[in-house]
Chain A
């Protein structure tokens, strides 16, 4: 089942610019997580935001969560060429299934040009 949906599907920016990616989901959640995937590699966890949190920072990353709109955004400030990767949001399901099962979206492919 598809839970998170990121947009845009692809984003191309210049080094130094900010990159904003959005994620929408369908059900109630315990948390929302963002992951990064470099080409040919596994995913790396970036940040987790709980359903009772509205904003969280980690270095150049800023994540917001709006549970009323069932949406989240990931902002990468002062982007670098090394930020080029695909970014995925993931949410747990609070209906049916077993808690802890993380469902991923299709990702945003970010390209940062030097």
Chain B
């Protein structure tokens, strides 16, 4: 079946503009995660959605970052007034229903964001 799909794969934007990054999780997966990966670095947790529960937004770096998950499926990560330090690869992952601590994540290939 289809894996996690992210769009666009690459995005170049000017400093100060807003961007929207999209994630289509695997059908039936209830958990959805956004991470950020700077060049050659590990993954920085941003936000986590689990079913109908309130999302865990503890990783969002500033109020310029927000995310939505509509209908428990597609998610959009929005970055307002982009800054050069926002340049990174934004990775989305989803996991199947079940006890979350014992679930593995399925990742998309990411959106490479470049802020000029």
Do residues A106 and B53 form an inter-chain contact, with CB atoms below 8 A? no
- The digit string for B6-47, where 1 denotes a CB below 8 A from any CB of A, is 000000000000000000000000010101000001110100
Q: Is A56's beta carbon under 8 Å from chain B?
A: no
Residues in B whose Cβ lies below 8 Å from that of A98: 48, 50, 53, 56
**Choice from A33, A88, A90, A97 contacting B56 with Cβ under 8 Å:** A97
B48 touches A101 (CB 8 A): yes
Q: How many residues of A contact B (CB 8 A)?
A: 26
Q: Are A44 and B107 in contact (CB under 8 A)?
A: yes
Question: When chains A and B are docked, how far (Å) is the Cα of A2 from the Cα of B53?
Answer: 24
A53, B107: Cα distance in complex, Å: 25
- A112 to nearest B CB, angstroms? 19
The residues of A with any CB-CB pair to B shorter than 8 Å are: 30-31, 33, 35, 40-45, 48, 50, 88, 90, 92, 97-107
B104 on interface, CB distance cutoff 8 Å: yes
Q: Which 8 A-B pairs have the closest CB atoms?
A: A100-B100, A42-B107, A30-B101, A106-B42, A104-B43, A45-B104, A43-B107, A98-B56
Inter-chain contact B45/A100, CB cutoff 8 Å:
no
Find chain A residues with CB under 8 A from B91 CB: 42-43
Q: Is the CB of B101 within 8 A of A99?
A: yes
A30/B56 in contact, CB under 8 A: no
Tell me, in angstroms, the Cα distance from A43 to B104 when the chains sit together. Answer: 11
User: Given the complex of chains A and B, what is the CA–CA distance between A42 and B31 in angstroms?
Assistant: 17
Q: Please name all residues of chain A whose beta carbon is closer than 8 Å to the beta carbon of B56 when the two chains form the complex.
A: 97-98, 101
| Bound-complex Cα distance A48 to B105 (A) | 10
A105 to B104, CA, bound (A): 16
